[in-house]
């Protein structure tokens, strides 16, 4: 979807961000997946890794018009992955199924909070699933930072939305290019619901090694994204 021309287009055309009203704190920087070089310097060649469906647009149809078909499409794609995520984290199939349904219902109810300039749909669903996991498997609360408040008319900048999509695609591609061992460690850090200490115990590697390997893997990712 992201053609070279498009990439160059929005690099040249990014307009100044309008001043938002109603914020509680001084201008928060919009978060991007992994700090990257300015848009103008990005590699224009990377395509979305697995498919090129614009899930943000699909989710916005749920958000804006409560579109059942759009929700069903999101469900078919993401629910089986959310369930897999929960099972990898130690939930049995029954609990994982129940939580996956819950996560997808939350997606419907909270669709108005989704900001396509800030996160991909996969990332947003990941955070919902992660919180559900903390609640279901650990019975702990999840402390969340203060909400960023935007003005009532806040509509994300299209250039930001495109930049988010492009960053996510490049991040996905970078992850698939990691050596298998490094990728495995990062997966365990996210999906295993295990701390670095516990990963060390499970793999027999000393903690310092684990930490430095994870760091190495993330450095590699950052490098890919430069």
Binders in 135-164 for other proteins, by CB under 8 A: 138-147
Q: Which stretch binds other proteins (CB under 8 A): 2-10, 39-47, 112-120, 150-158?
A: 112-120
List the one residue out of 188, 206, 184 whose CA is nearest residue 197. Answer: 206
Tokens of 77: 């794609």
Contact between 75 and other proteins by CB under 8 A: the answer reads: yes
Q: Which stretch binds other proteins (CB under 8 A): 8-16, 94-102, 155-163, 201-209?
A: 94-102
Contact between 26 and other proteins by CB under 8 A: the answer reads: yes
Smallest gap from Cβ 55 to other proteins, in A, equals: 9
What is d(CA 55, CA 215) in angstroms, rounded to the nearest whole number? Answer: 30
Determine the distance from the C-alpha atom of residue 60 to the mean position of all C-alpha atoms in its chain, rounded to a whole number.
16
Of residues 163 through 202, those in contact with other proteins by CB under 8 A are 167-168, 171-172, 175-176, 186-187, 189-191, 193-196
Determine the distance from the C-alpha atom of residue 84 to the mean position of all C-alpha atoms in its chain, rounded to a whole number.
16
Size of the site for other proteins (CB under 8 A): 82
What is d(CA 117, CA 195) in angstroms, rounded to the nearest whole number? Answer: 30
Contact between 10 and other proteins by CB under 8 A: the answer reads: no
What is d(CA 13, CA 6) in angstroms, rounded to the nearest whole number? Answer: 10
Q: Which stretch binds other proteins (CB under 8 A): 11-19, 24-32, 39-47, 151-159?
A: 24-32
Tokens of 26: 């001084």
Contact between 65 and other proteins by CB under 8 A: the answer reads: no
What is d(CA 104, CA 109) in angstroms, rounded to the nearest whole number? Answer: 9
What is d(CA 204, CA 198) in angstroms, rounded to the nearest whole number? Answer: 10
Contact between 31 and other proteins by CB under 8 A: the answer reads: yes
Contact between 41 and other proteins by CB under 8 A: the answer reads: no
**Which one of residues 127, 155, 202, 209 is an interface residue with other proteins (CB under 8 A)?**
127
**Which one of residues 8, 136, 205, 214 is an interface residue with other proteins (CB under 8 A)?**
214
Please give the C-alpha separations between residue 19 and each of 16, 26, 39, 148, 188, in angstroms, as whole numbers: 9, 11, 21, 14, 41
**Which one of residues 5, 15, 109, 152 is an interface residue with other proteins (CB under 8 A)?**
109
Contact between 64 and other proteins by CB under 8 A: the answer reads: no
| Helix or strand run (H / E) with residue 191 | helix 180-191
């Amino acid at each position: 979807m992201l053609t070279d021309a498009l990439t160059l287009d929005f690099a040249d055309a990014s307009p100044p961000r309008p001043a938002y009203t109603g914020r509680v704190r001084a201008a928060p920087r919009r978060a991007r997946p992994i700090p990257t070089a300015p848009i103008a310097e990005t590699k224009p060649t990377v395509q979305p890794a697995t498919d090129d469906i614009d899930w943000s647009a699909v989710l916005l149809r749920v958000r804006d018009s409560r579109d059942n078909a759009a929700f069903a499409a999101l469900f078919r794609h993401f629910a089986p992955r959310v369930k897999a995520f929960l099972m990898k984290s130690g939930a049995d199939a029954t609990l994982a199924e129940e939580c996956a349904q819950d996560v997808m219902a939350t997606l419907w109810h909270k669709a108005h909070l989704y900001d396509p300039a800030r996160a991909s749909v996969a990332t947003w669903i990941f955070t919902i699933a992660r919180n559900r996991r903390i609640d279901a498997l650990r019975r702990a609360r999840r402390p969340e930072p203060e909400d960023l408040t935007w003005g009532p008319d806040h509509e994300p900048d299209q250039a930001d939305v495109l930049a988010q999509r492009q960053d996510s695609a490049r991040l996905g591609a970078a992850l698939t290019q990691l050596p298998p061992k490094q990728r495995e460690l990062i997966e365990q850090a996210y999906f295993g619901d295990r701390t670095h200490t516990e990963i060390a115990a499970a793999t027999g590697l000393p903690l310092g090694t684990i930490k430095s390997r994870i760091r190495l893997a993330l450095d590699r990712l950052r490098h890919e994204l430069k």
